Structure 1
Amino acid sequence: MSHKILVVDDEPDLELLIKQKFRKQIRDNELQFVFAQNGVQALEKIRQHDDITVVLSDINMPEMDGLTLLQKLHELNNPVLKSVIVSAYGDIDNIRTAMNRGAFDFLTKPIDFNDLDITVKKTMQHLEVLKDALRSHDELVAVQRDLSTATRIQQSLLPRTFPPFPDRPEVDIYAEMLTAKEVGGDFYDFYYIDEDRLAFVIGDVSGKGIPAAIYMAVCRTLLKAIAHQIVHPGEVLRKTNTLLIPDSEDATFVTVFYGVINIHSGEMQYSNGGHCSPYIVRASGQVEQLPLTDGFILGKIDHLDYDAKKAHLEQGDTLFLYTDGVIEAMDSDSNLYEEDRLWTYLQATNGSSIQDIVKGSIADLKRFAGDAQQSDDITVLTLRYAGVNGS
């Protein structure tokens, strides 16, 4: 069966290189290629060629970039149209955004054409399996059932009783999650690792549905088990990453922020594995963003080291953690909510309870997004340090 691939890139030599690399498949009619130089042209090509099954797109392009194109492709609601994005090596923010907007896989520049060949074959195989699954009405119903099951898996694993430790008033905690239509892999957790230290974590698994929900459950369980054995947050992430590698298939990975707070002193140590950097809302109303630590996403590359940094919470200070579904929420014109708007919101929360801060942040996001459907889970976790004499 022939597959038609749309290549979206403004580099003039790429068309010739691809035709040369895949000349045998083109000659044997296994693959057909269509080319566009930006997202606007790509959408027009898709309208002209309704049999396109794969879009290979660069991120940085004129007129309409690759991330905006991904959002537009997601809105087409075509289950047998898959996207592979091309990004600069180490551009984790854009790669994470692309995966959350539905990209099937990613490649890094400069393109390794052997890697491209493998990725194309893997995508083709996935499409054949998917097409087989969608050929009957019963299978379509099963897909919906899978999404419902994924939601139940996700919700059943998240702490939902607040305050979670009524006999430990030193730290107050509250969290909420808005689940996207296509269930993602957001999660949060918190637990005492000894009498003096409270561990907390927030994470975001790439992908959707049951695979993301199961991977999330595995990641959450590993983190909790390792946290009770290892004190250093960076070592917790390093060990978790090593154990996740055998369970990571295709493009699956997870971003994680993990921290430990001493409830008597307010001293906090944390490590960040490619996740959004949290904010501290001081009791005075001042807002600070935690400095990043050196740490890559988990589940993709083995033998990585993760460092840790320290911060101090005074009585009344609030730690605000979130997933990228917050800052990447979009309105109907594809404008992003972004960190600047979140910062502005947090500056106006002085004196608010942590419940009001969380609920208010979600309400502000909803006002911004309006009726636009969100493609990613939206999760917020807050901790307020009350001190040893907390109330």
Structure 2
Amino acid sequence: MNSSDHYESLVSLFDKQLEFAQNLQRKIIPSPGSFVSNHYHFYSYLRPFRKVGGDFFDFHFLDNEKISLIITDATGHGIDAAMITSMVKLSYSYTMKDSRINQSPSLILKQIESDICQQMDNTFFTAIAIVLDPKAGVLYFANAGHPDAILLKSNRQVELLKPNLPMLGLQQFMTTMHYFDMRINFSKGDKLLLFTDGLIDAKNPNREEFSMERVISVINKNADSPINLIGSHIIDACVDFKQDQAPSDDICILGIEVDD
């Protein structure tokens, strides 16, 4: 086999691996139509930087109208990052079967971190886990080094769900770290948006970032709109801001509100 044939063989092998990873990621990440609920409205958007990426989200319905949400962002891009998302999916799905853990966002993240670090050293990713209890009017969250989530209250006040834990993967260096949940009021009319840093870090031709401030501005301008329209307006504003700049990172957005 000459060098040209060898190169073409390697390219073909890589393309097959990439196609496999792409098909796998399509299966493990919920499609917009998979979220069906009588209690919530939901919005999701995911655009990998390449054919596959490190952004991931999932959800799980719990008892008494509660719901668990998770969004993660693995370091890197491509097949390696996609492998991490598949492991997050498996760990999250398994964790949701454990009633001792699935009510606590911080314990969910701790379990996922432990599962992945046992299999892969030096694997780091940010994440937010949410447990929403609309009957009690409470939202519990744990933010592990992830961009702030945005809670738009029915009175138009904005609250940020800031990190309370370090990036996941650091457990091996911080063995005495205390995992704990944050609690915030959540009532009908409130709207929650979670996203990865590919959104706020998107740049225009002048190398300016789209920024958290611009995201909040779009949310405020569309505060009376349903969650799916707010999400769409954020994406449209980001595209307009970037103009013709090529993407440089995955972008993922999740939005949820309680049904009236």
TM-score, length basis structure 2: 0.88
Identity percentage over the alignment? 24
**Equivalents in 2 of 1:350, 1:382: separation in Å?**
13
Segment drifting more, 356-365 vs 151-160? 151-160
State which drifts further: 144-153 or 199-208: 144-153
- Determine the structure 2 residue equivalent to 1:165: 36
Calculate the aligned-residue CA RMSD, in Å.
Answer: 2.2
User: 1 CA distance for matches of 2:91 and 2:225?
Assistant: 34
Opposite residue 154 of structure 1, the aligned amino acid is Q
Q: Which runs of 5+ in 2 are unaligned?
A: none
The 5 A counterparts of 1:91-102 are: none
Preserved contact between residue 72 and residue 126 of structure 2 (Cα < 8 Å) = yes
Aligned to 2:202: 329
Residue of structure 1 aligned with 2:111, choices 239, 253, 256: 239
Contact 1:244 1:298 in 2 (8 A): no
Moved over 6 A (4+): none
1:297 aligns with 2:162: no
Q: CA separation in 1, counterparts of 2:39 and 2:188?
A: 9
Alignment of 1:258-337 (within 5 A): 258-293=129-164, 295-302=165-172, 303=175, 304-337=177-210
Which residue is 1:375 aligned to? 248
SS in 2 for 1:136: helix
- After superposition, give the CA deviation of every residue in 1:256-296 in whole Å (9 maximum; x if it has no partner): 10010113122111111111110011223332212431x12
Look up the match of 1:227.
96
Cα deviation 1:49-99 (Å, max 9, x = unaligned): xxxxxxxxxxxxxxxxxxxxxxxxxxxxxxxxxxxxxxxxxxxxxxxxxxx
* Structure 2 letter corresponding to 1:277: D
1:156 is displaced (CA, Å) by 1.7
Code of the aligned partner of 1:278: A
Residue in structure 2 matched with residue 203 of structure 1 by the alignment: 72
- 2:44 match: 175
Q: Which of the pair has more CA radius of gyration? A: 1
Tell whether the 8 Å contact from 2:143 to 2:162 is kept in structure 1 after alignment.
no
Code of the residue aligned with 2:167 in structure 1: it is I
The runs of 5 or more residues in structure 1 that have no matched partner are 1-131
Q: 2:171 is paired with a residue of what secondary structure?
A: coil
Amino acid at match of 2:156: G
Q: Is the 8 A contact 1:266 1:385 kept in 2?
A: no
In structure 2, C-alpha distance between the alignment counterparts of 1:348 and 1:179, rounded to whole Å: 27
Query: What CA distance in whole angstroms lies between the structure 1 residues aligned with 2:245 and 2:12?
Result: 25
Alignment match, 1:256? 127
Say if 2:22 and 2:51, in contact at 8 Å, map to a contact too.
no
**1:197 Cα deviation (Å)?**
1.8
- 1:1-391 matches, cutoff 5 A: 136-162=7-33, 164-166=35-37, 169-181=38-50, 183-229=52-98, 230=101, 231-249=103-121, 251-293=122-164, 295-302=165-172, 303=175, 304-386=177-259, 390=260
- Number of residue pairs aligned between Structure 1 and Structure 2: 251
The structure with higher relative contact order (CA 8 Å, sep 6+) is 2
1:163 is displaced (CA, Å) by: 6.9
Paired AA for residue 52 in structure 2: V
